[in-house]
Structure 1
Amino acid sequence: MLIQASVFRQFGLDENLTRYGHEDTKFGWLLRQAQVPVRHLDNPVLHDGLEPAAVFLEKSHQAVRNLALLYRHEQLGAETRLMRLALQVCRTGLSKFVQTSLRLLLPALRRNLLSESPNLRQFDLLKLYWLLQELSQPLEREKARL
């Protein structure tokens, strides 16, 4: 990320988020609200095996939880593809069906994602499952986790 120091000092990253992930989502939202222009670059991420796949999956799960928290408590994150898809599934009334279907696939998804050649579409399905789970939890239970 390239950013003027003064802009970063003004908005910064929220280090108070309770979990790993989506600090950048909140940062981008704050910039958009302040009408600070942002140019996105196509910069694919490559995994060089710096951490085991199981650790990456756990961090990804934490990031999905954080996305749900940002959405529920601050109305942020609806701009992400994952949240848009989850909200569309919820609006159509298919959330329970999709969750049940994906729950049946969990062992195969996990096996694939921990393999030598994981399929990233299956990673997207796993994240959708996690997010639908988070969005279906009662707010009282979620507040107790904060």
Structure 2
Amino acid sequence: MLSILIPIYNYNAYPLVLELLKQCTNCGINFEILVIDDASTQHQSENNAIQFLTNCSFIELSENIGRSKIRNLLASKANYDWMLYLDCDTFPENSDFISNYIKQINLSAEKVFFGGIVYTKEKPANDKLLRWIFGQKREAIPLFERKKSPYRSTFVSNILIKKTVFDAILFDEKITNYGYEDFAFIQNIKLENIDIEHIENSVFHLNLETSSLFLSKTKTALETLLIISKTNSKTEIDSKIIKTHKMLYDLKINLLISKLFQKLQSRLERHLTSKKPSLLAFDCYKIGYFCYLNSK
């Protein structure tokens, strides 16, 4: 019935697997939990214990293959008709998380289901505020809002998909660097006219990066987006960054924005890593950096 697929990188996924195992067992379903570690340097001993749990398997890769390839690899090893992808740093919000998805499976619909992402209300340390604020405002989207734009509001960190549907799409393995592999995957679902059904079945996103690391990963992701945009025009459909850059280019001010970004970059980074970062400044940082990348 259900294959639960979890890619790991430098995170202890054992508590998550234990909770999923308990819920699946309580549901009385046929299931497997497949976990692949993408050459982590941390938490190996904790994650190695996963292989000794019932209906669970654990594979540790000797070299990092990236976020697209590892998800495709997990799917290739799945034995059941439905696959639930979860990020290793998530955790079900409720004890009926699996049973809620089983209800969708029993509908036998050729759809993709997304349950949502939430963040704890407890304010983190000052050096992790940017990631928390971003998650609260841009990822923890209420169900009624998600339904208004089902493709734009979907994340692969908590997604249920039929194996036959996935095999016809796959993650783009040409995307080897961090960022936007999930965006490209969702775009392909949309282009194939496959519906995404949003339901109330959230997971907590637990792993908050420091603001400086989040900024660094954001820059890498934008570099990835630039590569995608030059090789796949389909990304222009829903990418706000690409749309905004095109507007600035048409107005002939993209180079001006690039120069302003270079002058203000350090000041913006100090603000975004402070104890009062704003998402407006973060948005300016992203479009400024993207303009800079396009001007090189």
When the two structures are superposed, what TM-score results if normalisation uses the length of structure 2? 0.42
Q: 1:75 aligns with which of 223, 226, 233?
A: 233
SS at match of 1:19: coil
Structure-2 residue corresponding to 1:35: 193
Equivalents in 2 of 1:47, 1:30: separation in Å?
A: 25
- The equivalences for 1:113-128 within 5 A come to 113-128=272-287
Equivalents in 2 of 1:40, 1:58: separation in Å?
A: 31
For the pair 1:103 / 2:262, whether they are aligned, the reply is yes
- Whose relative contact order is higher, 1 or 2, with alpha carbons under 8 Å and at least 6 apart? 1
Q: Higher strand fraction: Structure 1 or Structure 2?
A: 2
Q: Per the alignment, do residues 90 and 108 of structure 1 end up closer, same or farther by CA in structure 2, a change over 3 Å counting?
A: same
CA RMSD of aligned residues (A): 2.6
SS at match of 2:161: coil
The runs of 5 or more residues in structure 1 that have no matched partner are 138-146
Deviations 1:116-146 (A, max 9, x none): 2211111111110111122223xxxxxxxxx
Contact residue 261 and residue 289 of structure 2 kept, 8 A:
no
Output the amino acid matched with 2:163: A
Of the two, which has the highest radius of gyration? Answer: 2
Output the amino acid matched with 2:245: A
The runs of 5 or more residues in structure 2 that have no matched partner are 1-158
Deviations 1:40-89 (A, max 9, x none): 689xxx98663221111111101101111111011142121111111100
Equivalents in 1 of 2:272, 2:219: separation in Å?
A: 13
SS at match of 1:2: strand
- How many residues in Structure 1 have an aligned counterpart in Structure 2? 137
Identical counterparts, % of pairs: 24
Deviations 1:1-32 (A, max 9, x none): 23223212321222441310101121122122
Q: Higher helix fraction: Structure 1 or Structure 2?
A: 1
How big is the shift at 1:39?
Answer: 4.5
